[in-house]
Amino acid sequence: MFGLRALLLLGGVLFVIVALAYFFYGLQPASLENGSALNGDAGAGIRFRIAKGESFKDIGAHLSQESLIKSISVFKMYAIVTGRAQKFQPGVYTLSRAMSVPEIVTLLTRGGRDEVAVTIPEGSTLQDVDAVLTEKGVLQKDALVSYPINKLKDLYPFLEQVNSLEGFLFPDTYRFHIDSSPEMVTRTFLDNFEEKAWPLLSDVGTWYDYLILASFLEREVPSFEDRKIVAGILLRRLQLGMPFQVDATISYAKCSGAIKECENAVITQGDLDIISPYNTYRRLGWTPTPIANPGELAIKAALNPTASSYLFYLSARETGKTIYARTFEEHRINRLKYL
């Protein structure tokens, strides 16, 4: 009997020792393996977000998926024992695999940044902006794309005759709160457009056409002076009843408006027959909406076209330089030479 008790006691002691050893092992930085030195990138910052209403269980799972902790169980146990299990704060944090569980728990319960900077580059599309906002934790996926702009038409006169936000998300750096409302985000973009772009367009009777033209220029031509020349070419084609033949509109159609991550943005000969209102090779006139969100310079170029004798242009494959032609035969030779 005594021997059995001794064995049980010894077993219990061993269990406690192993459990404590595992617990303290699990508290160590995820980059420490068997006492080895930190991995080379262990100290690299990792963006970690806690959403509003995210459960303690989900936070632990997320940390494990990012390889920021060794054990979900140890993380949970430590947070419960220290009384912090219900004190995690929503926000954006910078963590690293060189941080221990106590360091991570302390940081996540202290409160992260509830605001993030979002930079929208010139030429981004509505779908592209939506993806960036989703990645940053500002909105849920498709919240901006699907926002009913009819709710805001009384506030912004330039929305009266349009049905899409494409073209109105003025490229700039914004600061948004995590988990913002779609209306707040949309109004922030429109307020900026109203301040910076609308004064340029408001006195032009066909201003929406020029916003569409600016989006073509933003996607097609890099330099300001070339943009003005190409604006003149496209407006001349319109007067002559010629199709615009803007490759960027084909990319927009092929990629369903999501250019940033589109693997099929490069145009092939077969793409010129795509059935789409955005195919400016098959259809005459303006596309239904802009094909991107143009910046100030693209808008100014559209409003200040340079008259020329050119009817054709292309971008040289190796240099990106814009090459012009007066006739289709010249353009054909340029294509053989530069593309």
User: What's residue 171's pLDDT?
Assistant: 97
Radius of gyration, CA atoms only, the chain: 29
Taking the alpha carbons at both ends of the chain, their separation in whole angstroms is: 92
CB-CB contact of 210 with 302 (8 Å): yes
In the chain, % of residues over pLDDT 90: 64
The Cα 153–Cα 189 span in angstroms is 14
- The distance of Cα 263 from the centroid of its chain, to the nearest Å, equals 16
- 54 contact partners, CB below 8 Å, separation of at least 6: 62, 88, 90
Query: For residue 105, what is the enclosing H or E element?
Result: helix 101-110
What gap in Å lies between CA 146 and CA 173, rounded to an integer? 22
Q: Which has the closest alpha carbon to 334: 325, 317, 326? A: 325
Let me know: does 220 contact 265? Beta carbons within 8 Å. no
Pairwise CA distance, residues 212 & 226, whole Å: 17
CA-to-CA dists, residue 49 to 62, 89, 283, 307, angstroms? 9, 10, 46, 52
Report the pLDDT value the prediction gives residue 37, as an integer from 0 to 100.
43
Mean pLDDT over each residue of the chain, to the nearest integer: 89
Residue 51 is predicted with a pLDDT of 83
What's the pLDDT at 226? 97
- Looking at residue 113, the DSSP 8-state letter turns out to be B
List the beta bridge partners of residue 176.
116
- Enter the tokens of residue 271: 């793409």
Based on the number of CB atoms within 10 Å of its own CB, is 4 exposed (0-12), middle (13-18) or buried (19 or more)?
exposed
Q: What is the rounded distance in angstroms from the CA atom of residue 140 to the CA atom of residue 328?
A: 48
Per-residue pLDDT of the chain (339 residues; tens, 9 = 90+): 556 666 666 665 566 576 666 677 778 898 875 444 444 456 678 888 888 788 888 999 999 999 999 889 889 989 898 888 888 888 888 899 999 999 999 888 887 777 889 999 999 999 999 999 999 989 999 999 999 999 999 999 999 999 999 999 999 999 998 889 999 999 999 999 999 999 999 999 999 999 999 999 999 999 999 999 999 999 999 999 999 999 999 999 999 999 988 877 788 889 999 999 999 999 999 999 999 999 999 999 999 999 999 999 999 988 999 999 999 999 999 999 998
Determine whether 217 is exposed, middle or buried from the number of CB atoms within 10 Å of its CB (0-12, 13-18, 19+).
buried
Q: What is the pLDDT of residues 146-163, one digit of tens each?
A: 999 999 999 999 999 999
Other C-beta atoms closer than 10 Å to the C-beta of 313 total 20
170-210: pLDDT as tens digits: 999 999 988 899 999 999 999 999 999 999 999 999 999 99
pLDDT at 10: 60
Between CA 294 and CA 311 the distance in angstroms is: 23
Domains and their CATH numbers in the chain? 44-113 (3.30.1490.480), 115-200 (3.30.1490.480), 205-338 (no CATH)
Beta bridge partners of 117: 175
